[in-house]
């Protein structure tokens, strides 16, 4: 059928077909047929940042401080008028803004629990960003949402959870996993809270050594930080269950709802894993005793400790990987503790920490019963959708219950790629090496009077050290910090804390900022003591699969040398 167009319409169409005279300038930065620019830019940036030299430095080359920060604000805080025609600006952006960033692959970096990313995960993540995958529904994600489901199924099997009953989503970090768990817990206990908000008295149980994001979640969800039941830690930094039970009982008897109990599944400082089974039993006992109309949701914050699940089915007698005997014992203990995740209601996984080997953010929260996510479904009273994302054209719609609307598809693909590139044996070897290197650190430190190991009971891959000044070496007070509650001990710890903080400031300025040798971090409040003064400590946290015993020996020797230089300065 021929369309009959008016003269005015023809004129309008002719005008609209003539694009503005600058749009073609954009084509260079949106290539389709020619991928040379993408590959060339990546290679040139990689070389320009000297990342091939990552074994010899802990951070990207270049200065990073207040002065540089201010200069970058001055240099770049103006919108350019012209479209860039060459790559020089891109190289400068990378050089300026990536300077000083930690290189997690570097065996010299023992700064915190980050992760060295494997190249296959990086590639999949980058390509998903090139395609720009939105994990909103399958209409916007294609098959990328299937990757999310596959990862959940694999992790569920790893934990001994029925993969046909569990459900998981990738979210914005470990904080997101805890936020989801608490929100699900509240919605299960108080369904009307979705419409009416939080009313009445509510408390959430968290652990003494919990990540600060737990308090952040209570803040953001409107529960309030003062409504946290902080369950106290034992000497080994696991949670004291009997005291926790009494505190939760007290809250219930004072007419508080306690919708969630969040337990340790591998703490940041000690990788401590609570007795999850005992917490579930305690929860069930309280439900029965008080005839609660809700069942408190037990969430395991296992974003670090999930990694021990890779040893759940390992034959420790056969020891196929020939893991060192003491390391093997630790892995066996931790694997058995982590296996109890299957008894909890939910748990978290960070692929951007430890052995996860994926770009940040790459976190998954898993509900062992998928019905838990159903409590978050967002619908109007007539059952229609609150959003305008054409659910009728999609068969997978996580956006109906996720906090985020736009979730990047790269996280699921990166996590999946890590699993398939490294495999169980690769993940086991990586974790075993980290735990063994931490053990070597402690053995070397224990044999030298300059050091005191604070987290002696830790079964993970982090070491917390105090440096002992010459005047205090041999003092009986050093080994009684977690026992003595006297004012004398309080003063002793305060002095020791100041010495260690001053040393860290010295070493940071004298050596670390120059990108020379091992880089560690400093924690002002590692743990509480009977004297009321928290212990400050130096934190050595290996995460690179490239770290070797030689790097550990070098790190200890570097600390001793730096301490000698510091002691000479303060004499």
- Give the pLDDT confidence score for residue 374 in this predicted structure: 84
Q: Are 321 and 428 in contact (CB under 8 A)?
A: yes
Rounded alpha-carbon distances, angstroms, from residue 263 to 231, 233, 402? 9, 11, 23
Asked whether residue 257 carries a pLDDT value surpassing 70, the answer given is yes
In angstroms, rounded to a whole number, what is the distance separating the alpha carbons of residues 396 and 380?
19
Tell me what the mean pLDDT of segment 363-391 comes to. Answer: 76
Nearest to 186 by CA among 158, 148, 224: 224
Phi, psi (degrees; rounded to nearest 5) at 408: -70, 140
The number of beta carbons lying within 10 Å of the beta carbon of residue 290 is 12
Question: What tokens does 155 get?
Answer: 């992790």
pLDDT-derived band at 384 (thresholds 50, 70, 90) equals: low
- Give the pLDDT confidence score for residue 36 in this predicted structure: 85
- Give the pLDDT confidence score for residue 138 in this predicted structure: 86
In angstroms, rounded to a whole number, what is the distance separating the alpha carbons of residues 345 and 159?
12
Region of poorest pLDDT, from 119-128, 319-328, 370-379:
370-379
In angstroms, rounded to a whole number, what is the distance separating the alpha carbons of residues 528 and 181?
27
Q: Are 146 and 323 in contact (CB under 8 A)?
A: no
Question: What tokens does 468 get?
Answer: 């002992």
pLDDT-derived band at 129 (thresholds 50, 70, 90) equals: very high
In angstroms, rounded to a whole number, what is the distance separating the alpha carbons of residues 245 and 279?
9
Question: What tokens does 119 get?
Answer: 């190249």
**Tokens 């306690």 sit on residue:** 258
pLDDT tens-digit series, residues 192-239: 998 899 988 999 999 999 999 999 999 999 999 999 999 999 989 999
The residue that leads in pLDDT, 31 or 240, is: 240
Q: Are 106 and 117 in contact (CB under 8 A)?
A: no
Q: What is the distance between the terminal CA atoms of the chain, rounded to a whole angstrom? A: 97
Q: Which residues of 317-347 are buried (b: 16+ CB within 10 A; e: fewer)?
A: eeeeeebeeebbebbeebbebbbbbbbbbbb
How open is the CA angle 188-192-193, to the nearest 5 degrees? 80
pLDDT tens-digit series, residues 64-85: 999 999 999 999 999 999 898 8
**Tokens 């969800």 sit on residue:** 221
- Residue count (the chain): 571
Tell me what the mean pLDDT of segment 504-526 comes to. Answer: 95
Report DSSP letters for 385-410, one per residue.
Answer: BSS-S-GGG-S--GGGT-S-SS-BTH
- Give the pLDDT confidence score for residue 393 in this predicted structure: 61
Question: What tokens does 22 get?
Answer: 């600058």
pTM for the model: 0.93
In angstroms, rounded to a whole number, what is the distance separating the alpha carbons of residues 549 and 117?
21
In angstroms, rounded to a whole number, what is the distance separating the alpha carbons of residues 147 and 407?
13
- Give the pLDDT confidence score for residue 347 in this predicted structure: 99
In angstroms, rounded to a whole number, what is the distance separating the alpha carbons of residues 448 and 458?
19
pLDDT-derived band at 472 (thresholds 50, 70, 90) equals: very high
Rounded alpha-carbon distances, angstroms, from residue 194 to 102, 155, 223? 41, 30, 14
Which domains can be identified in the chain, with CATH numbers?
14-101 (no CATH), 149-385 (3.40.640.10), 431-570 (3.90.1150.10)
Residue 169, SS3 per DSSP: strand
- Give the pLDDT confidence score for residue 380 in this predicted structure: 58
Q: Are strands 463-467 and 521-527 parallel, antiparallel or unpaired?
A: unpaired
pLDDT tens-digit series, residues 8-37: 999 998 998 898 889 988 988 888 888 788
pLDDT-derived band at 93 (thresholds 50, 70, 90) equals: very high
Question: What tokens does 288 get?
Answer: 């029965």
Nearest to 442 by CA among 322, 274, 327: 327
pLDDT-derived band at 402 (thresholds 50, 70, 90) equals: confident
The mean predicted confidence, pLDDT, of the chain is: 94
Residue 528, SS3 per DSSP: coil
Q: Where are the alpha helices (DSSP H) in 5-143?
A: 7-17, 36-48, 66-76, 88-98, 119-131, 138-141
Tell me what the mean pLDDT of segment 318-322 comes to. Answer: 98
In angstroms, rounded to a whole number, what is the distance separating the alpha carbons of residues 147 and 133?
12
Asked whether residue 386 carries a pLDDT value surpassing 60, the answer given is no
In angstroms, rounded to a whole number, what is the distance separating the alpha carbons of residues 277 and 157?
18
In angstroms, rounded to a whole number, what is the distance separating the alpha carbons of residues 42 and 99?
16
Q: Please state, for a pLDDT cut of 90, what percent of the chain lies above it.
A: 81
Q: Are 348 and 178 in contact (CB under 8 A)?
A: yes
Looking at residue 156, the DSSP 8-state letter turns out to be H
- Give the pLDDT confidence score for residue 361 in this predicted structure: 95
**Beta-bridge partner residues of 156:** none
């Amino acid at each position: 059928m021929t369309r009959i167009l008016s003269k005015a319409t023809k004129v309008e169409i002719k005008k609209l077909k003539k694009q503005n005279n600058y749009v073609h300038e954009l084509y260079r930065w949106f290539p389709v047929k020619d991928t040379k620019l993408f590959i060339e830019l990546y290679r040139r940036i990689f070389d320009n940042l000297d990342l091939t030299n990552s074994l010899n430095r802990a951070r990207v080359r270049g200065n990073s401080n207040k002065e540089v920060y201010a200069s970058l604000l001055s240099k770049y805080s103006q919108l350019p008028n012209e479209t860039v025609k060459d790559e020089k600006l891109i190289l400068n952006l990378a050089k300026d803004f990536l300077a000083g960033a930690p290189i997690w692959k570097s065996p010299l970096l023992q700064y915190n629990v980050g992760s060295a990313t494997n190249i296959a995960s990086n590639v999949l993540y980058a390509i998903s960003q090139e395609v720009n995958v939105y994990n909103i529904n399958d209409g916007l994600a294609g098959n990328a949402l299937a990757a999310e489901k596959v990862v959940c199924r694999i992790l569920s099997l790893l934990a001994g959870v029925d993969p046909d009953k569990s459900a998981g989503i990738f979210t914005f970090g470990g904080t997101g996993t805890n936020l989801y768990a608490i929100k699900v817990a509240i919605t299960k206990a108080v369904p009307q809270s979705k419409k009416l908000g939080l009313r009445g008295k509510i408390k959430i149980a968290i652990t003494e050594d919990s990540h600060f994001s737990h308090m952040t979640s209570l803040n953001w969800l409107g529960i309030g930080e003062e409504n946290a039941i902080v369950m106290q830690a034992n000497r080994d930094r696991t949670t004291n269950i009997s005291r926790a039970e009494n505190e939760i009982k007290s809250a219930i008897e004072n007419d508080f709802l306690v919708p969630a109990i969040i337990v340790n599944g591998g703490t940041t400082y000690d990788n401590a894993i609570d007795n999850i089974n005992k917490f579930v039993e305690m929860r069930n006992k309280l439900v029965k005793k008080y005839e609660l109309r809700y069942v408190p949701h037990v969430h395991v914050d296992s974003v670090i400790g999930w990694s021990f699940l890779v040893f759940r089915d390992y034959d420790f007698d056969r020891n196929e990987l020939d893991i060192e005997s003491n390391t093997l014992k630790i892995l066996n203990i931790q694997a058995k503790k982590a296996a109890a995740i299957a008894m909890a209601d939910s748990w978290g996984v960070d692929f951007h920490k430890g052995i996860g080997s994926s770009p940040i953010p790459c976190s998954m929260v898993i509900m062992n019963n998928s019905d838990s996510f159903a409590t978050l479904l967002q619908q109007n009273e007539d059952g229609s959708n609150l959003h305008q994302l054409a659910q009728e054209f999609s068969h997978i719609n996580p956006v109906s219950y996720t906090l985020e609307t736009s979730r990047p598809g790269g996280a699921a693909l990166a996590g999946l790629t890590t699993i398939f590139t490294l495999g169980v044996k690769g993940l086991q070897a990586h974790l075993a090496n980290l735990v063994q290197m931490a053990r070597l650190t402690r053995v070397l430190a224990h044999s030298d009077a300059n050091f005191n190991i604070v987290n002696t009971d830790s079964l993970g891959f982090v070491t917390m050290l105090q440096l002992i000044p010459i005047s205090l070496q041999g003092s009986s007070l050093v080994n009684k910090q977690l026992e003595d509650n006297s004012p004398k001990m309080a003063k002793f710890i305060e002095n020791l804390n100041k010495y260690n903080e001053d040393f860290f400031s010295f070493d940071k300025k004298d050596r670390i900022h120059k990108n020379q040798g091992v880089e560690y971090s400093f924690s002002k409040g590692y743990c509480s003591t009977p004297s009321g003064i928290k212990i400050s400590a130096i934190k050595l946290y290996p995460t690179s699969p490239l770290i070797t015993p030689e790097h550990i020996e070098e790190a200890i020797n570097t600390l001793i040398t730096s301490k000698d230089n510091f002691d000479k300065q303060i004499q």
